[in-house]
Amino acid sequence: MRIIVVGGSGHIGSYLVPRLVRAGHDLVSVSRGTQAPYTDSPEWRDVTQVVADRQQQDADGRFGATVLAQDPDVVVDLVSFTLASTTALVEALRGRAGHLLHCGSIWRYGPSLKLPIREGEGTRAIDEYGTQKEAIARYLQQETRAGGLVTTSVHPGHIVGPGWAPINPLGNLDPSVWAALSAGRTLRIPGSGAETLHHVHADDVAQVFELAVARRDAASGEDFHAVAPSALTVRGYAEIAAGWFGRSAHLEPVSWEQFRAGTTPEHAQASWGHLHRSQYLSIEKAQQRLGYRPAYEPEAAILESVRVLVEHDRLPVEGPLTP
């Protein structure tokens, strides 16, 4: 099939595009052309590259025509963040393409009430990003069930992989967290430490998309979670990460007010967004319907990311990685 991947050079696309090439498909990657893929795979030599500014073309009403000009059988949209953007693409593709796959987010749900969360059973989203992702998932289901375009939505957890920083045990991207853990210094944590974070390796997300492409009938009108087989608690994540440097985690639980006073507003808001949700998602549906078999437990995926950052002096740590 001829498959168009929108956002092909990003975190997921860097793994998905080579997977689809290896599966024998004809690939077109549509991106802004501002960055190289995260993986230097030989399959990229067989990929057609199309440069397009999605945001500008959405504003001009031209993006659907850009995608259609590539004569797609399947479109994988990894970078749509509003219902309006997805609706415009669906209307352009309806009757002209065989399958549209959309990348959502586990932030379609709000704070956890019951674990694990199954598809569509979480609480209401607590920010505009999550609200839009939930609206898109519902819209795509309705589109397919009404006899329109065949669609599928895939909802990744906190994506990790070589080349970018993982969400750390405090639920943010503050590099000083890694410095503290690697040195055995006390780390102040907001809350109890029992809050959960659900990571996933980018290649496992790509696996779900590849399976959904191959098993269109099973994926038609459905939504799937793409996460690791397990989730990490703040306490467990910190202890595991400190152990990578031959240390033990020394954690000091503090109130959210105390935590906010000791960090930047950006880091505090990111921590609140992740830890207040405290999510753990089910992958049973993807396993049963698609045959999803994630290759990475969360700590293995995170360690792979951390190792590459340390090796390239992009993460301030105080001691060598021991594993």
pLDDT digits (tens, 9 = 90+) for 166-224: 999 999 999 999 999 999 999 999 999 999 999 999 999 999 999 999 999 999 999 99
Mean pLDDT, rounded, for 286-295: 98
**Within 10 Å of residue 59's Cβ, how many Cβ atoms?**
11
Q: What is the pLDDT of residue 270?
A: 98
Which spans in the chain are helix H? 13-22, 54-60, 63-68, 83-93, 128-145, 176-183, 202-214, 216-219, 234-243, 256-261, 265-277, 284-290, 298-311
Give the containing element (helix H, strand E) for 251.
Answer: strand 250-254
What pLDDT, on the 0 to 100 scale, is given for residue 319? Answer: 87
> pLDDT of 65-112, one tens digit each?
999 999 999 999 999 999 999 999 999 999 999 999 999 999 999 999
When pLDDT is cut at 50, 70 and 90, the band that residue 323 belongs to is: confident
Domains and CATH numbers, the chain: 2-159+201-226 (3.40.50.720), 162-198+230-279+297-311 (3.90.25)
In a 13 Å sphere around the CA of 209, the CA atoms on its Cβ side amount to: 32
| Residue 120 pLDDT greater than 90, yes or no | yes
